[in-house]
Structure formats: structure tokens, C-alpha cells
Amino acid sequence: MRTLEVRRLAVHYGQIEAVRNASFEVAQGEIVALIGSNGAGKSTTLKAVMGLVPAAAGDILWDGESVRARGAAQRVTRGIALSPEGRRLFADMTVLENLEVGAHTVRSRAVKQRTLDEIYALFPRVAERRRQQAGSLSGGEQQMVAIGRALMAQPALLMLDEPSLGIAPKIVAEIAEAIERLNRERGLAVLLVEQNARLALKLSRRAYVFEQGAITRSGTGAELLADADVQKAFLGI
């Protein structure tokens, strides 16, 4: 079983300790959420796992092997992919061209086409707009393309950074359904960073609460939904 293990991770931005002593894991077939306020260290943690920012301390193991010394491209080939906050699409390129960018590590044309077909089945809106420029799409449609681009790399671990941010509730529901379907049908491991704590906890098997760069509590999604402190801090109850 392929598992991500983050052990006592620390990340610094100059003198600022953005993440400190963070430990958690994501096993194959799990959806795991990181919740917390802005600036709590959630997105930085995903970037560290992806190799986009260096770890100052601790280790990141994937499938039992440390990837801390590996670059982002090597981590992609090992089966880790990130759909970043803000989507980061190439606005002047078509939807199809953006998706193809995600497959730069995949050599087989047949595999690329099969994955495209799967993405189109998962997100029919993406199929309908595949010839349009990505910049002409709505925010929700762009988010679907960003997730599809990450899926083109054939990941075993899909990391999603704020997939519901700035998106209409109807599209959020479609994206949530797609995440559950990917997890259920493919056994895809999902690491979800989401400020919509209610959504994240409903989707996740387990979750971790980040506060000021550190994990302060953890539990099942259901346990944290019922936690009075979590309700007060993140659910408006």
C-alpha cells in the first residue's frame, strides 16, 4: 500500500517558521484533509510535499522512501501531483493544451488518450470546452481543468489546494462528487487543503487542524465535525 508519511516537517520563509514539527500520513484509498485559517501552514505543507519549497527539517516519505532530496519533477514521476491554489492555468492556451501540459511525464499516447477520456467523463464541462481558451472559462470550470491537469500525470496521490475557493456552490458540489468518485473508483489517495472546513471534514476519512504552523488536533472527519472547538473556530457554530 502506497503511503505518504510526513515526519516532523518544518518549513521556513527566512526567519518565519511557516510549518513546525508537522507529522501526518495519507494511505492509499484515503481522503485526508488539512484545515485551518489563512496563514496556518496548510498550503506551505503541500508545496513542501511537492518539492516546491524546501523542508528545513523533518522528512517526507512516499512509498517508504524519502523524497526530501528529490525535485518536484521526480516526485511527479513517482506518483505525486498537485492542483495548486489559484488554479494556475495558461490562460491563452486551450483547455486541451492545458491538460496535455500535465502529461509531460507520460510517454504513451494511448495512456494519455485514455486519461483524457476519463477526465472528460468525470467533468463533462471540460469536454465541452476543450477547444476554448482556458482564460475564457468560469472559475469553477478552470478548477475542473486544473484538477484534470493534475490527473494527467497518473498520480497515486492527488493533492488539492483550496479547490472550492471562489466557486459557485453548484460547481463545488460537482467537484466534491468528482473527488469522492476518484477516491472510491480508483483508490486514489487525496490530500485536501480546504478553508471550507465543513466540506473538507465531510469528504475526509481523517483530518488535521493547523494553527500557526503546527498541527493542534486530529481525528476522523466525523469526530472533528462534532468537536466543539473546531465548530467554534471553523464552522461558525
Match domain 3-235 to its CATH number in 1.10.10.10, 3.40.50.300, 2.30.30.190, 3.40.228.10.
3.40.50.300
- pLDDT given for residue 80 in this prediction: 96
What digits encode the pLDDT tens for the residues 25-73?
A: 999 999 999 999 888 999 999 999 999 999 999 999 999 999 999 999 9
Residues in the chain: 237
- pLDDT given for residue 197 in this prediction: 93
Furthest-apart CA atoms within the chain: distance in Å: 51
- Full-model pTM: 0.93
Residue 226 has pLDDT above 90, yes or no: yes
CB atoms within 10 A of CB 139: 12
Report the candidate in 164, 126, 176, 166 with the shortest Cα–Cα distance to residue 148.
126
What digits encode the pLDDT tens for the residues 147-178?
A: 999 999 999 999 999 999 888 899 999 999 99
Identify the band that residue 237 occupies on the pLDDT scale cut at 50, 70 and 90.
Answer: low
Domain ranges in the chain are 3-235
Task: Provide the grid cell at 57.
Answer: 527539517
* pLDDT above 90: percentage of residues in the chain: 79
What digits encode the pLDDT tens for the residues 89-106?
A: 988 999 999 999 988 888
